Amino acid sequence: MDLRQIRCFIAVAEELHFRRAAERVGLAQTALSAQVRRLEEEMGVALLFRTTRHVSLTQAGAVFLTEARNLLDRLDAAIAETRAVAERGLDRLRIGGIDAALAWFLPPVFEAFRSRHPGIRLTLTEVSASAQQVEALERHHIDLAFFRPPTATPGIAWETLFEEGVAIALPAGDDAADAHSLSAEALTGRSLIGYPRHARPYLADMVARCIEGLDAPPNVEMEVLDKSTLMRLVAQGTGVGLVPDWCARVGAEGVRFVPLENGPRLAFGVAWRERDAGRETLDDFLALSRSEAAHVAG
pLDDT value at residue 77? 79
Helix residue ranges, H only, 164-297: 201-211, 227-235, 246-250, 280-297
Same-domain pairing of 68 and 149: no
Structural domain boundaries enclosing 283: 93-162+268-297
List, for residues 52-107, the tens digit of each pLDDT value: 788 999 999 999 999 999 998 888 877 876 665 555 556 789 999 999 999 999 99
Strand order in the sheet with 219-223: 219-223, 191-194, 240-244, 166-171, 255-259
User: Of the residues 59, 87, 115, which one is the last residue of a structural domain?
Assistant: 87
Same-domain pairing of 151 and 105: yes
**Rounded distance between C-alpha atoms, residue 256 and residue 175, angstroms:** 11
Closest residue by Cα to residue 267 from 128, 180, 147, 135: 147
Can you state the angle between helices 29-43 and 18-25, rounded to 10 degrees?
100
Same-domain pairing of 181 and 253: yes
User: Of the residues 35, 62, 87, which one is the last residue of a structural domain?
Assistant: 87
**Rounded distance between C-alpha atoms, residue 20 and residue 15, angstroms:** 7
pLDDT value at residue 59? 93
The structural domain count of the chain equals 3
CATH number at residue 81: 1.10.10.10
104 residue type, one letter? W
CATH number at residue 111: 3.40.190.10
CA 64 to chain centre: 42
Same-domain pairing of 186 and 257: yes
Average pLDDT over residues 236-243: 96
Residue 54, SS3 per DSSP: coil
Same-domain pairing of 259 and 173: yes
Same-domain pairing of 214 and 180: yes
The residue with greater pLDDT, 76 or 230, is 230
Find all residues with CB under 8 Å of 159, minimum gap 6, and list them. Answer: 269, 270, 271, 286
CA 257 to chain centre: 32
**Rounded distance between C-alpha atoms, residue 292 and residue 35, angstroms:** 59
Same-domain pairing of 170 and 158: no
pLDDT value at residue 149? 85
pLDDT value at residue 162? 96
What is the separation, in whole angstroms, between the first and last Cα of the chain?
61
Same-domain pairing of 216 and 285: no
Same-domain pairing of 23 and 78: yes
Q: Residue 219's pLDDT band (boundaries 50, 70, 90)? A: confident
Closest residue by Cα to residue 171 from 225, 115, 252: 252
Same-domain pairing of 150 and 225: no
Same-domain pairing of 137 and 181: no
Find all residues with CB under 8 Å of 129, minimum gap 6, and list them. Answer: none
- Which of 74-83, 97-106, 139-148, 266-275 has the lowest average pLDDT? 74-83
Q: Show the CA angle centred on residue 262, arms to residues 260 and 263, nearest 5°.
A: 60
> How many residues comprise the chain?
298
Work out the mean pLDDT of the chain and round it to a whole number. Answer: 91
pLDDT value at residue 278? 83
Per-residue pLDDT at 230 exceeds 60: yes
Buried b (16+ CB within 10 A) or exposed e, 140-177: eebbbbbbbeebeeeebbbeebbebbbbbbbbeebeeb
Average pLDDT over residues 181-187: 96
User: Of the residues 87, 121, 143, which one is the last residue of a structural domain?
Assistant: 87
Q: How many CB atoms lie within 10 A of CB 99?
A: 16
**Rounded distance between C-alpha atoms, residue 233 and residue 229, angstroms:** 6
Average pLDDT over residues 105-110: 96
pLDDT value at residue 90? 60
Percent with pLDDT over 90 in the chain: 73
Same-domain pairing of 112 and 136: yes
pTM over 0.85: no
Q: Residue 45's pLDDT band (boundaries 50, 70, 90)? A: very high
**Contact predicate 121/91, CB 8 Å:** yes
